[in-house]
Structure 1
Amino acid sequence: MFTFRFPLLVWLGIGILITSLGIRQSFGIFMMPVSDYFHTGREFFSFAIALQNLLFGAFQPFVGMAADRWGPKRIIILGSASYAAGLYLTSITVEPTMIYLSLGVLVGLGLSATSYVIVLGAVAKVVPAQHAAKAFGLTTAAGSFGMFAMIPGAQTLLSIYDWQSAMQIFAVMCSFIVVFAFFINMAKGEAHTHTVHEDLQTLKEALKEAFTHKGYWLIHIGFFVCGFHVMFIATHLPSYVLDKNLPASAAAMALAYVGIFNIFGSYFWGVMADRYSKRYVMSALYVMRTVVISAFVIFPTTEITAAVFGAAIGFCWLGTVPLTSGLVRQIFGSRYLSTLYGLVFFSHQVGSFLGAWTGGVIYDYYGSYEPIWWSAVALAFLSALIHLPINDKPVSRIRMETA
């Protein structure tokens, strides 16, 4: 059973993720208005989002190390300040290249300090090992709810105001992250409830242990593919739907369905990971992605098929997060989870960079998204295969948590 304080920590993490990731997942809605405002092609905005995701990942290991050493509260507050500054500067810039600094660098830094790695790292230290993936799935679902709530909200703001005002409203919303972070110390005492003697291991030893583990690198590759998928779809699905002469509302609702069904999917995959082998569950998830993306490309795009695709891909959207973080925790323990998972997350964000950017490059060159869709299908099938040989047994020198 969870302790009395555990729900408080989970709800704080949920509040942070709803705000941080909800805003982030709405950026695809801004592609057309921002590109039109600066009279640029789609590659311009795609590269800004791609840079954001690359730096999101590049900052993540260092932010994770800082959180492991000094705790998540300070890191989250500093991250929310960077996030808000990036959004506000984006809204007032008149020089297109400044968006690379504001929406790219500052928001990327803000996201690295207010998203899954930091929140799940805190949760891992208070949750029994046998319930870890389920708890990670529940927390991950929060980001999906944020996507469901924020994307229609962003579309509504754009229909009432201009895109600059919408960005400024989102910047103000970052203050909610600060409020949630201030209460983290109330749950701090839980950090010693379920942990045992992993403190003797140094960070250097933990890194060496992970880098010599073959399965750790296969986890990296799998999460790279996940990043490629989610950011290509989140950034370019709205434009792809509009290219099919469907209304903007259909594009917004397709992404909203991704968010709402991911709420159920994230928890479902987390529960499955606690009941069955995580590597087999992960392979099943990627097989599902292979089928779903293939069907979307093959069948005609209508409002109905866009909605069905959003729901289906949403169900397996971020189920990789509790599975991946659960695998890292199962193999290496929770002591340095923020660091080790942060490194894995960097690979995810390299994939995100390529998915967001190459989507724009290929569209501007070919006038079609079809080549990138089929690349996403091939990568999904490859990822389904590479998880099968992972040795997911706990490494022998780490004394894992007990119930």
Structure 2
Amino acid sequence: MKFLQKKATLLLTAFLGTAFYFSACSTEVAGGVSEETNTVAGILKFPDGNVAARIAMQLQSIENEAAIFVDTTDAEGKFSLTANARGLYGLSANANHFAYYDTVSLNGKSVQRNGDFVSATSISGNVYLRSAISASQVAVQIPGSPWKTTTDENGYFVLNQIPEGEISVSVSSPDKSWILGQTFDATANHLDSEAIQSPASFRWILPLSPEYKIAGYWTFDEANAGVVHDSRSISGNAALYGNAKLELGRQRGKSLHLQNASDFAVIENDKGILDSAKNFTIEMWVDIQNIPAESAKIKNILGKLSFGDSTIFSIAVVQDTCGVQGSAFGFFLAEGNGDSLLCENAAISKNEISLNRWNYLAATWNGDSTILYVDGIREASAETKFHQLSGKNIPIYLGKENLDLFIDDVKIYTTSIEDIDAIYRYNE
């Protein structure tokens, strides 16, 4: 899985005076690379090239924060630290207005790693669980280092006396079943503290867990007697019709292949997962092979389609209509009561569909607006006049249009997602 890395250039001031203290020193200071396994050794220097003598060094496991090993540089700036297990470690030191940090992978062999101090500075900001929900008492840390703090009741934090330059900052999750921890990349710039009185703040939002409020998941990896089961056993099964079949998918598994209007899949009974919903999200991967030119201008990929007084929606291919020249993805939502899927109520991308490539689509409704994401990017939105879905026993169709396409990993959630969630899931 890829971890989302969000770049944020921060205006920072130097933080003077605070130093981190280490609990102990090793009894042996090595000169050069130790013959012991899982050892990192080298020479630490100041920016002017002078050796950094009598400086506390720390080696801390990134996977196990309790695994900490310490040493003090000798008169020549030499250090040697030996860990008791293989893994990825953070190597750090602090001296007045200077700081040092690096990561090192130990795999049973000795590693030579020389270090250079840089100016120390500080970063600050706010962490949110959702765009309007602050994350309080959440751990914020440079992985494998003593630079760690927790957010206050407003989600605000400050990390002091850290090395300037590009740095990774990890934010833990208070509830992994809902929100995921995340690692962000930030550029810590050293500025004159007399010119800037406080570090500039920035904003980080943690992404939703892909399992949070999931109400249906169809992988299309296998079918049993023409039926694809919901892998979470929450919603109904998708029955295949026509020449709909499972073929090699986006990754190692399979996907649903539909070649024309006679090929489709139907979830006849979704077990009411969207009945009276006040928000929802549908995400999937789609590979459009061919879009035949014909009179039908809105071609359903996945939709809850019905007639009468029921809410209906469709994630669709829009062709030469709704202001689109060529083809684009669209998300239509209507309240029912005689309303149809109208262009003016749809979130329609302005970007042309690229054939023969996989696109990640996420269509979300937050109770006020529909939003369409393509490949993790918000491409369109539209306001809605209603705030709750209506209607029961409405089937969900996949396809049933004159399209040649592959569909994979369809998920339905009874919650809306935000921008941070869409880009995270696209990169997942």
TM-score (norm 1): 0.20
Structure number with greater CO (CA < 8 Å, separation at least 6) is: 1
Q: 1 or 2, which has the higher strand percentage?
A: 2
Larger radius of gyration: 2
